[in-house]
Structure 1
Protein backbone atom coordinates (compact mmCIF):
# COMPACT_ATOMS: atom_id res chain seq x y z
CA UNK A 1 0.00 0.00 0.00
CA UNK A 2 1.32 3.42 -0.95
CA UNK A 3 2.34 5.63 1.97
CA UNK A 4 3.11 9.30 2.49
CA UNK A 5 6.67 9.63 3.73
CA UNK A 6 8.86 12.55 4.77
CA UNK A 7 12.61 12.24 5.26
CA UNK A 8 14.40 14.67 7.60
CA UNK A 9 17.98 15.04 6.46
CA UNK A 10 16.95 14.26 2.92
CA UNK A 11 20.26 15.02 1.23
CA UNK A 12 22.33 12.62 3.30
CA UNK A 13 24.02 9.65 1.65
CA UNK A 14 21.64 7.11 3.18
CA UNK A 15 18.61 9.34 2.66
CA UNK A 16 19.24 9.74 -1.07
CA UNK A 17 19.51 5.97 -1.43
CA UNK A 18 16.32 5.55 0.58
CA UNK A 19 14.51 8.10 -1.59
CA UNK A 20 15.40 6.13 -4.74
CA UNK A 21 13.94 3.00 -3.16
CA UNK A 22 10.73 4.65 -1.98
CA UNK A 23 9.62 6.94 -4.79
CA UNK A 24 8.48 4.23 -7.23
CA UNK A 25 5.69 3.23 -4.85
CA UNK A 26 5.31 5.99 -2.28
CA UNK A 27 4.85 9.76 -2.06
CA UNK A 28 8.08 11.17 -0.64
CA UNK A 29 8.91 14.59 0.75
CA UNK A 30 12.50 15.42 1.60
CA UNK A 31 13.49 18.00 4.22
CA UNK A 32 16.60 19.91 3.15
CA UNK A 33 18.18 23.06 4.57
CA UNK A 34 19.28 24.75 1.33
CA UNK A 35 17.84 25.37 -2.12
CA UNK A 36 21.08 24.00 -3.57
CA UNK A 37 19.69 20.48 -3.22
CA UNK A 38 16.21 21.05 -4.65
CA UNK A 39 16.89 19.91 -8.20
CA UNK A 40 18.63 16.76 -7.02
CA UNK A 41 15.65 15.87 -4.82
CA UNK A 42 13.15 16.54 -7.62
CA UNK A 43 15.22 14.39 -9.99
CA UNK A 44 14.57 11.51 -7.58
CA UNK A 45 10.79 12.15 -7.90
CA UNK A 46 10.53 13.52 -4.36
CA UNK A 47 9.27 16.91 -3.19
CA UNK A 48 11.82 19.15 -1.45
CA UNK A 49 10.80 20.88 1.79
CA UNK A 50 13.04 23.72 2.97
CA UNK A 51 13.44 23.55 6.75
CA UNK A 52 16.39 23.82 9.12
CA UNK A 53 16.79 21.63 12.18
CA UNK A 54 18.80 24.43 13.73
CA UNK A 55 16.67 27.45 12.85
CA UNK A 56 13.10 26.44 11.95
CA UNK A 57 10.54 26.33 14.78
CA UNK A 58 8.83 23.14 15.93
CA UNK A 59 5.56 24.42 14.46
CA UNK A 60 7.02 24.41 10.93
CA UNK A 61 8.01 20.78 11.30
CA UNK A 62 4.59 19.90 12.71
CA UNK A 63 2.97 21.51 9.66
CA UNK A 64 5.26 19.50 7.37
CA UNK A 65 4.39 16.26 9.19
CA UNK A 66 0.61 16.72 8.98
CA UNK A 67 -0.94 13.98 6.88
CA UNK A 68 2.24 11.90 6.68
CA UNK A 69 2.30 8.21 7.51
CA UNK A 70 5.98 7.94 8.37
CA UNK A 71 8.75 10.37 9.32
CA UNK A 72 12.31 9.20 8.75
CA UNK A 73 14.99 11.01 10.74
CA UNK A 74 18.36 10.50 9.07
CA UNK A 75 20.03 13.82 9.79
CA UNK A 76 23.30 14.67 11.45
CA UNK A 77 25.94 17.36 11.71
CA UNK A 78 28.45 14.97 10.17
CA UNK A 79 31.21 16.22 12.44
CA UNK A 80 31.00 19.74 10.99
CA UNK A 81 30.94 22.65 13.43
CA UNK A 82 32.33 20.87 16.46
CA UNK A 83 30.46 19.70 19.53
CA UNK A 84 28.18 22.74 19.64
CA UNK A 85 26.70 22.04 16.21
CA UNK A 86 26.60 18.30 16.87
CA UNK A 87 24.44 19.04 19.90
CA UNK A 88 22.19 21.40 17.92
CA UNK A 89 21.55 18.92 15.10
CA UNK A 90 21.94 15.41 16.50
CA UNK A 91 20.26 16.10 19.85
CA UNK A 92 18.26 19.33 19.79
CA UNK A 93 17.22 18.79 16.16
CA UNK A 94 16.07 15.26 16.94
CA UNK A 95 14.08 16.43 19.97
CA UNK A 96 12.52 19.14 17.80
CA UNK A 97 11.30 16.42 15.45
CA UNK A 98 9.93 14.34 18.34
CA UNK A 99 8.06 17.37 19.67
CA UNK A 100 6.76 18.20 16.20
CA UNK A 101 5.31 14.71 15.76
CA UNK A 102 3.58 15.00 19.11
CA UNK A 103 2.09 18.29 17.91
CA UNK A 104 0.37 16.72 14.90
CA UNK A 105 -3.41 16.82 15.29
CA UNK A 106 -5.19 13.52 14.75
CA UNK A 107 -3.25 10.40 13.72
CA UNK A 108 0.45 10.91 14.29
CA UNK A 109 3.05 9.58 11.86
CA UNK A 110 5.38 6.80 12.88
CA UNK A 111 9.03 7.73 13.34
CA UNK A 112 11.91 5.65 11.99
CA UNK A 113 15.13 7.14 13.35
CA UNK A 114 18.67 6.37 12.24
CA UNK A 115 21.03 6.29 15.21
CA UNK A 116 24.26 4.28 15.54
CA UNK A 117 25.37 1.00 16.98
CA UNK A 118 26.88 1.12 20.49
CA UNK A 119 24.96 4.27 21.46
CA UNK A 120 24.60 3.67 25.21
CA UNK A 121 25.69 4.61 28.70
CA UNK A 122 29.50 4.25 28.48
CA UNK A 123 29.49 2.50 31.86
CA UNK A 124 27.02 -0.15 30.68
CA UNK A 125 29.00 -2.57 28.49
CA UNK A 126 26.60 -5.02 26.79
CA UNK A 127 26.99 -8.63 27.93
CA UNK A 128 27.34 -9.93 24.35
CA UNK A 129 30.41 -7.80 23.55
CA UNK A 130 33.73 -9.61 23.19
CA UNK A 131 37.19 -8.09 23.60
CA UNK A 132 37.26 -6.90 19.98
CA UNK A 133 33.89 -5.17 20.42
CA UNK A 134 35.08 -3.42 23.56
CA UNK A 135 38.29 -2.26 21.89
CA UNK A 136 36.36 -1.01 18.85
CA UNK A 137 33.90 0.81 21.09
CA UNK A 138 36.72 2.59 22.91
CA UNK A 139 38.33 3.69 19.65
CA UNK A 140 35.08 5.09 18.29
CA UNK A 141 34.18 6.83 21.54
CA UNK A 142 37.59 8.50 21.59
CA UNK A 143 37.38 9.59 17.95
CA UNK A 144 33.79 10.92 17.90
CA UNK A 145 32.94 11.41 21.56
CA UNK A 146 30.51 14.31 21.04
CA UNK A 147 28.56 12.44 18.36
CA UNK A 148 28.14 9.33 20.52
CA UNK A 149 27.13 11.40 23.54
CA UNK A 150 24.48 13.47 21.82
CA UNK A 151 23.07 10.51 19.90
CA UNK A 152 22.70 8.79 23.25
CA UNK A 153 20.91 11.79 24.76
CA UNK A 154 18.52 11.90 21.78
CA UNK A 155 17.77 8.18 21.96
CA UNK A 156 17.20 8.39 25.73
CA UNK A 157 14.68 11.13 25.09
CA UNK A 158 12.88 9.15 22.40
CA UNK A 159 12.53 5.85 24.24
CA UNK A 160 10.52 7.58 26.97
CA UNK A 161 7.88 8.83 24.52
CA UNK A 162 4.58 7.05 24.02
CA UNK A 163 2.43 9.51 22.06
CA UNK A 164 3.60 8.14 18.70
CA UNK A 165 5.13 4.90 17.44
CA UNK A 166 8.86 4.84 16.82
CA UNK A 167 11.63 2.50 15.74
CA UNK A 168 15.39 3.11 15.93
CA UNK A 169 17.79 1.58 13.41
CA UNK A 170 21.38 1.43 14.72
CA UNK A 171 23.87 0.69 11.91
CA UNK A 172 27.53 -0.02 12.45
CA UNK A 173 30.30 1.76 10.59
CA UNK A 174 29.13 2.76 7.12
CA UNK A 175 30.81 2.03 3.79
CA UNK A 176 30.11 3.03 0.20
CA UNK A 177 30.63 -0.51 -1.06
CA UNK A 178 27.74 -1.95 -3.10
CA UNK A 179 25.07 -3.54 -0.95
CA UNK A 180 25.17 -7.28 -0.42
CA UNK A 181 21.54 -7.68 0.61
CA UNK A 182 22.79 -9.47 3.73
CA UNK A 183 23.32 -8.42 7.34
CA UNK A 184 23.59 -9.40 10.98
CA UNK A 185 20.68 -7.87 12.86
CA UNK A 186 20.02 -7.69 16.60
CA UNK A 187 22.47 -8.03 19.49
CA UNK A 188 25.53 -8.76 17.42
CA UNK A 189 29.22 -7.92 17.35
CA UNK A 190 29.96 -4.36 16.32
CA UNK A 191 33.23 -4.56 14.40
CA UNK A 192 31.83 -5.23 10.91
CA UNK A 193 30.89 -2.34 8.63
CA UNK A 194 27.69 -2.21 6.61
CA UNK A 195 27.04 -0.69 3.21
CA UNK A 196 24.91 2.44 3.03
CA UNK A 197 22.94 0.60 0.33
CA UNK A 198 21.99 -2.09 2.85
CA UNK A 199 21.07 0.46 5.54
CA UNK A 200 18.76 2.20 3.07
CA UNK A 201 17.18 -1.15 2.18
CA UNK A 202 16.61 -1.92 5.87
CA UNK A 203 14.93 1.47 6.28
CA UNK A 204 12.70 0.74 3.31
CA UNK A 205 11.71 -2.62 4.82
CA UNK A 206 10.87 -0.95 8.14
CA UNK A 207 8.28 1.21 6.39
CA UNK A 208 5.81 -1.68 6.51
CA UNK A 209 6.90 -3.07 9.87
CA UNK A 210 4.60 -1.42 12.35
CA UNK A 211 5.36 -4.40 14.59
CA UNK A 212 8.86 -2.94 15.06
CA UNK A 213 7.42 -0.12 17.19
CA UNK A 214 9.34 0.40 20.41
CA UNK A 215 12.45 -1.44 19.21
CA UNK A 216 16.00 -0.25 18.68
CA UNK A 217 17.59 -2.57 16.12
CA UNK A 218 21.34 -3.06 15.60
CA UNK A 219 22.54 -3.88 12.09
CA UNK A 220 26.01 -4.64 10.70
CA UNK A 221 27.37 -6.53 7.73
CA UNK A 222 26.62 -10.21 7.85
CA UNK A 223 25.66 -13.37 6.01
CA UNK A 224 21.89 -13.61 6.48
CA UNK A 225 19.55 -12.23 3.81
CA UNK A 226 18.56 -8.77 5.01
CA UNK A 227 14.80 -9.23 5.01
CA UNK A 228 15.09 -12.55 6.85
CA UNK A 229 17.48 -11.14 9.47
CA UNK A 230 15.34 -8.07 10.09
CA UNK A 231 12.17 -10.12 10.33
CA UNK A 232 13.73 -12.45 12.90
CA UNK A 233 14.92 -9.54 15.03
CA UNK A 234 11.51 -7.87 14.98
CA UNK A 235 9.71 -11.10 15.85
CA UNK A 236 12.12 -11.64 18.73
CA UNK A 237 10.97 -8.29 20.10
CA UNK A 238 14.19 -7.55 21.99
CA UNK A 239 15.35 -3.94 21.90
CA UNK A 240 19.06 -3.29 21.41
CA UNK A 241 19.04 0.04 23.26
CA UNK A 242 20.25 -0.95 26.71
CA UNK A 243 20.15 2.46 28.37
Structure 2
Protein backbone atom coordinates (compact mmCIF):
# COMPACT_ATOMS: atom_id res chain seq x y z
CA UNK A 1 0.00 0.00 0.00
CA UNK A 2 1.43 3.33 -1.11
CA UNK A 3 0.79 6.19 1.32
CA UNK A 4 0.91 9.97 1.06
CA UNK A 5 3.08 11.11 3.97
CA UNK A 6 3.91 14.57 5.33
CA UNK A 7 6.75 15.07 7.82
CA UNK A 8 6.59 18.26 9.89
CA UNK A 9 10.13 19.12 10.91
CA UNK A 10 11.65 17.33 7.95
CA UNK A 11 15.18 18.53 8.64
CA UNK A 12 15.07 19.57 12.26
CA UNK A 13 16.79 17.44 14.86
CA UNK A 14 14.51 15.26 16.96
CA UNK A 15 15.90 15.68 20.45
CA UNK A 16 15.55 13.34 23.34
CA UNK A 17 16.07 14.17 26.97
CA UNK A 18 19.59 12.73 26.80
CA UNK A 19 20.47 14.86 23.76
CA UNK A 20 19.38 18.05 25.44
CA UNK A 21 21.74 17.40 28.31
CA UNK A 22 24.77 17.56 26.04
CA UNK A 23 23.31 19.42 23.03
CA UNK A 24 24.94 16.95 20.65
CA UNK A 25 24.28 17.46 16.95
CA UNK A 26 23.12 14.07 15.72
CA UNK A 27 21.66 12.95 12.41
CA UNK A 28 17.94 13.64 12.27
CA UNK A 29 15.22 11.04 12.75
CA UNK A 30 13.14 12.86 10.14
CA UNK A 31 15.73 12.36 7.40
CA UNK A 32 15.99 8.66 8.23
CA UNK A 33 12.19 8.43 8.14
CA UNK A 34 11.94 10.22 4.79
CA UNK A 35 14.58 7.94 3.29
CA UNK A 36 12.88 4.78 4.57
CA UNK A 37 9.42 5.89 3.50
CA UNK A 38 10.46 7.06 0.04
CA UNK A 39 12.51 3.90 -0.40
CA UNK A 40 9.40 1.86 0.34
CA UNK A 41 7.58 3.65 -2.46
CA UNK A 42 5.54 6.11 -0.43
CA UNK A 43 5.03 9.72 -1.52
CA UNK A 44 6.79 11.88 1.07
CA UNK A 45 6.65 15.64 1.58
CA UNK A 46 9.02 17.06 4.20
CA UNK A 47 8.24 20.46 5.69
CA UNK A 48 11.29 22.62 6.35
CA UNK A 49 11.67 26.27 7.35
CA UNK A 50 14.87 27.02 5.42
CA UNK A 51 15.15 26.62 1.61
CA UNK A 52 18.86 25.90 2.04
CA UNK A 53 17.81 22.49 3.37
CA UNK A 54 16.12 21.50 0.09
CA UNK A 55 19.05 19.45 -1.16
CA UNK A 56 19.17 17.33 1.99
CA UNK A 57 15.46 16.59 1.62
CA UNK A 58 15.55 15.70 -2.08
CA UNK A 59 18.51 13.39 -1.39
CA UNK A 60 16.17 11.22 0.71
CA UNK A 61 13.65 10.91 -2.12
CA UNK A 62 11.17 13.26 -0.43
CA UNK A 63 9.76 16.52 -1.77
CA UNK A 64 10.61 19.64 0.28
CA UNK A 65 8.00 22.23 1.24
CA UNK A 66 8.98 25.46 2.98
CA UNK A 67 6.63 26.45 5.82
CA UNK A 68 7.28 27.87 9.27
CA UNK A 69 5.70 26.36 12.37
CA UNK A 70 6.25 29.70 14.06
CA UNK A 71 5.06 32.07 11.33
CA UNK A 72 2.86 30.26 8.78
CA UNK A 73 -0.89 30.17 9.53
CA UNK A 74 -2.80 27.00 10.29
CA UNK A 75 -4.52 27.28 6.91
CA UNK A 76 -1.21 26.83 5.08
CA UNK A 77 -0.73 23.46 6.76
CA UNK A 78 -4.34 22.42 6.15
CA UNK A 79 -3.88 23.32 2.49
CA UNK A 80 -0.70 21.25 2.35
CA UNK A 81 -2.39 18.20 3.86
CA UNK A 82 -5.30 18.61 1.45
CA UNK A 83 -3.12 19.19 -1.61
CA UNK A 84 -0.92 16.17 -0.92
CA UNK A 85 -3.91 14.02 0.09
CA UNK A 86 -1.95 13.23 3.24
CA UNK A 87 -2.84 9.96 4.92
CA UNK A 88 -0.17 10.14 7.63
CA UNK A 89 1.36 13.25 9.21
CA UNK A 90 4.45 12.97 11.40
CA UNK A 91 5.32 15.71 13.86
CA UNK A 92 9.06 15.39 14.44
CA UNK A 93 9.82 19.08 14.99
CA UNK A 94 11.47 20.54 18.06
CA UNK A 95 13.49 23.54 19.15
CA UNK A 96 16.24 21.21 20.35
CA UNK A 97 16.82 23.21 23.50
CA UNK A 98 17.88 26.26 21.50
CA UNK A 99 16.43 29.75 21.87
CA UNK A 100 15.23 29.55 25.45
CA UNK A 101 11.83 28.65 26.82
CA UNK A 102 9.86 30.92 24.49
CA UNK A 103 11.17 29.16 21.38
CA UNK A 104 10.64 25.72 22.91
CA UNK A 105 7.07 26.76 23.61
CA UNK A 106 6.69 28.16 20.09
CA UNK A 107 7.89 25.02 18.30
CA UNK A 108 7.30 22.05 20.60
CA UNK A 109 3.94 23.28 21.92
CA UNK A 110 2.35 25.90 19.68
CA UNK A 111 3.78 24.25 16.56
CA UNK A 112 2.28 20.94 17.62
CA UNK A 113 -1.10 22.56 18.30
CA UNK A 114 -0.96 24.26 14.91
CA UNK A 115 -0.49 20.84 13.34
CA UNK A 116 -3.42 19.38 15.32
CA UNK A 117 -5.65 22.26 14.22
CA UNK A 118 -4.52 21.92 10.62
CA UNK A 119 -5.50 18.26 10.58
CA UNK A 120 -8.83 19.18 12.14
CA UNK A 121 -9.35 21.57 9.23
CA UNK A 122 -9.03 18.89 6.55
CA UNK A 123 -12.39 18.13 4.94
CA UNK A 124 -13.43 14.50 4.69
CA UNK A 125 -11.10 11.78 5.95
CA UNK A 126 -8.35 13.26 8.05
CA UNK A 127 -4.77 11.97 8.14
CA UNK A 128 -3.42 9.95 11.03
CA UNK A 129 -0.98 11.89 13.21
CA UNK A 130 2.13 10.31 14.70
CA UNK A 131 3.68 12.64 17.27
CA UNK A 132 7.27 12.13 18.41
CA UNK A 133 7.70 13.00 22.08
CA UNK A 134 9.93 11.46 24.76
CA UNK A 135 9.90 8.66 27.28
CA UNK A 136 8.78 9.69 30.79
CA UNK A 137 7.05 12.88 29.56
CA UNK A 138 3.97 13.61 31.65
CA UNK A 139 4.86 11.43 34.59
CA UNK A 140 5.70 14.57 36.61
CA UNK A 141 6.10 13.63 40.27
CA UNK A 142 5.04 10.02 39.73
CA UNK A 143 6.77 6.93 38.44
CA UNK A 144 5.31 4.08 36.39
CA UNK A 145 4.97 0.94 38.48
CA UNK A 146 7.55 -0.92 36.42
CA UNK A 147 10.36 1.62 37.01
CA UNK A 148 13.39 0.35 38.91
CA UNK A 149 15.32 2.52 41.35
CA UNK A 150 17.83 3.22 38.58
CA UNK A 151 15.00 4.34 36.28
CA UNK A 152 13.70 6.67 38.98
CA UNK A 153 17.07 8.27 39.57
CA UNK A 154 17.57 8.86 35.84
CA UNK A 155 14.07 10.30 35.54
CA UNK A 156 14.58 12.70 38.44
CA UNK A 157 17.91 13.89 37.08
CA UNK A 158 16.64 14.49 33.56
CA UNK A 159 13.34 16.06 34.63
CA UNK A 160 15.29 18.61 36.66
CA UNK A 161 17.93 19.27 34.01
CA UNK A 162 15.50 20.00 31.16
CA UNK A 163 12.31 20.98 32.92
CA UNK A 164 11.31 23.37 30.12
CA UNK A 165 11.50 20.66 27.46
CA UNK A 166 9.42 18.29 29.58
CA UNK A 167 6.89 21.00 30.35
CA UNK A 168 6.07 21.90 26.76
CA UNK A 169 6.18 18.35 25.40
CA UNK A 170 3.73 17.41 28.14
CA UNK A 171 1.48 20.40 27.45
CA UNK A 172 1.30 19.38 23.78
CA UNK A 173 0.44 15.80 24.73
CA UNK A 174 -2.28 17.04 27.10
CA UNK A 175 -3.97 18.84 24.23
CA UNK A 176 -3.60 15.93 21.82
CA UNK A 177 -5.14 13.31 24.10
CA UNK A 178 -8.40 15.29 24.03
CA UNK A 179 -8.63 15.28 20.23
CA UNK A 180 -11.12 12.86 18.75
CA UNK A 181 -11.61 14.01 15.16
CA UNK A 182 -8.54 12.19 13.82
CA UNK A 183 -6.42 9.16 14.68
CA UNK A 184 -3.27 9.90 16.62
CA UNK A 185 -0.38 7.94 18.13
CA UNK A 186 2.45 9.22 20.32
CA UNK A 187 5.86 7.55 20.00
CA UNK A 188 8.09 8.31 23.00
CA UNK A 189 11.68 7.18 22.44
CA UNK A 190 14.37 7.22 25.09
CA UNK A 191 17.87 8.62 24.69
CA UNK A 192 18.82 8.78 21.00
CA UNK A 193 22.10 7.80 19.35
CA UNK A 194 23.56 7.87 15.86
CA UNK A 195 24.46 4.18 15.99
CA UNK A 196 23.36 2.01 13.09
CA UNK A 197 19.89 0.59 13.53
CA UNK A 198 19.54 -2.96 14.79
CA UNK A 199 15.89 -3.44 13.85
CA UNK A 200 15.23 -4.32 17.48
CA UNK A 201 13.91 -2.47 20.53
CA UNK A 202 11.93 -2.73 23.73
CA UNK A 203 8.42 -1.41 23.20
CA UNK A 204 5.96 -0.35 25.89
CA UNK A 205 6.36 -0.39 29.67
CA UNK A 206 10.08 0.12 29.14
CA UNK A 207 12.89 0.96 31.49
CA UNK A 208 14.80 4.12 30.60
CA UNK A 209 18.40 3.02 31.04
CA UNK A 210 18.91 1.99 27.39
CA UNK A 211 19.39 4.27 24.41
CA UNK A 212 17.90 3.76 20.95
CA UNK A 213 19.31 4.63 17.53
CA UNK A 214 17.59 7.24 15.39
CA UNK A 215 17.43 4.72 12.55
CA UNK A 216 15.40 2.35 14.73
CA UNK A 217 13.06 5.16 15.81
CA UNK A 218 12.50 6.00 12.14
CA UNK A 219 11.70 2.35 11.41
CA UNK A 220 9.16 2.34 14.23
CA UNK A 221 7.59 5.54 12.93
CA UNK A 222 7.17 4.08 9.47
CA UNK A 223 5.61 0.92 10.91
CA UNK A 224 3.08 3.06 12.80
CA UNK A 225 1.79 4.41 9.49
CA UNK A 226 0.09 1.09 8.78
CA UNK A 227 -0.85 -0.38 12.17
CA UNK A 228 -4.60 -0.93 12.68
CA UNK A 229 -6.89 1.84 13.92
CA UNK A 230 -6.82 0.08 17.28
CA UNK A 231 -3.52 1.92 17.82
CA UNK A 232 -5.26 5.30 17.82
CA UNK A 233 -5.00 7.03 21.17
CA UNK A 234 -1.93 5.12 22.36
CA UNK A 235 1.33 6.52 23.68
CA UNK A 236 4.17 4.07 23.11
CA UNK A 237 7.50 4.14 24.94
CA UNK A 238 10.53 2.83 23.05
CA UNK A 239 14.14 2.15 24.03
CA UNK A 240 16.90 -0.11 22.79
CA UNK A 241 16.24 -3.81 23.20
CA UNK A 242 16.19 -7.24 21.60
CA UNK A 243 12.70 -7.57 20.12
CA UNK A 244 12.07 -7.07 16.38
CA UNK A 245 10.46 -3.63 16.09
CA UNK A 246 7.45 -4.44 13.90
CA UNK A 247 6.18 -7.45 15.87
CA UNK A 248 6.89 -5.68 19.18
CA UNK A 249 4.81 -2.69 18.12
CA UNK A 250 2.03 -4.96 16.88
CA UNK A 251 1.98 -6.82 20.20
CA UNK A 252 1.79 -3.58 22.18
CA UNK A 253 -1.02 -2.25 19.99
CA UNK A 254 -2.92 -5.51 20.41
CA UNK A 255 -2.82 -5.07 24.20
CA UNK A 256 -4.39 -1.63 23.81
CA UNK A 257 -2.82 -0.22 26.98
CA UNK A 258 -1.20 3.21 26.71
CA UNK A 259 2.06 4.35 28.29
CA UNK A 260 0.59 7.82 28.91
CA UNK A 261 0.15 8.56 32.61
CA UNK A 262 -0.51 12.29 32.34
CA UNK A 263 -3.60 14.20 33.35
CA UNK A 264 -5.34 15.95 30.47
Alignment partner of 1:238 is 2:257: yes
Paired residue for 2:100, among 79, 82, 93? 82
> Could you tell me how far apart the structure 2 residues matched to 1:46 and 1:224 are?
29
Answering whether residue 49 of structure 2 is matched by residue 33 of structure 1, we say yes
How far the C-alpha of 1:94 sits from its partner, in A, is 0.3
Displacement of 1:121 in angstroms is 3.9
* Stretch deviating more after TM superposition (8-17 or 35-44): 35-44
Shift of 1:44: 1.7
Runs of 4+ residues deviating >6 angstroms:
none
**What's the RMSD between the two structures over aligned residues?**
0.9
Residue number among 32, 37, 50 corresponding to 1:22 in the alignment: 37
Q: Counterpart of 1:55?
A: 71
Structure 1 residue 225, shift from structure 2 partner: 1.3
The number of aligned residues is: 243
Within a 5 Å distance, the mapping from 1:191-206 to structure 2 comes to 191-206=209-224
Moved more, 136-145 or 86-95: 136-145
TM (norm. structure 2) is 0.90
Distance of 1:44 and 1:120 partners within structure 2: 33
Supply the distance in 2 between the matched residues of 1:179 and 1:42 (Cα, whole angstroms). 22
Tell me how far 1:188 sits from its aligned partner: 1.4
- Gap runs ≥5 in structure 1: none
Match of 2:7? 7
Gaps of 5+ in 2: 13-27
Q: In the alignment, what sits opposite 1:227? A: 246
Q: Distance in 1 between matches of 2:60 and 2:259?
A: 33
Task: State the distance in 1 between where 2:224 and 2:139 align.
Answer: 26
Shift of 1:64: 0.8
Deviations 1:158-187 (CA, angstroms, capped at 9, x unpaired)? 001000000000000001111111111001
Q: Deviations over 1:74-127 (max 9, x none)?
A: 000001101110000000100010011001111110101101000014123211
Greater CA deviation, 226-235 or 106-115?
226-235
**Cα distance in 1 between the residues matched to 2:48 and 2:42:** 19
CA shift, 1:204, in A, is 0.9
Between stretches 124-133 and 100-109, larger displacement belongs to 124-133
1:141 and 2:141 are equivalent in the alignment = no
TM-score normalised to structure 1 length? 0.98
Partner secondary structure for residue 198 of structure 2: coil
From 140, 154, 171, the counterpart of 2:189: 171
Question: In 2, distance between residues paired with 1:95 and 1:170?
Answer: 18
Aligned counterparts of 2:220 and 2:209: Cα–Cα separation in 1? 19
Q: 1:69 Cα shift? A: 0.5
Written as runs of structure 1 = structure 2, the 5 A alignment for 1:85-100 is: 85-100=103-118
Cα distance in 1 for residues equivalent to 2:157 and 2:210: 14
- 1:127 matched residue in structure 2: 145
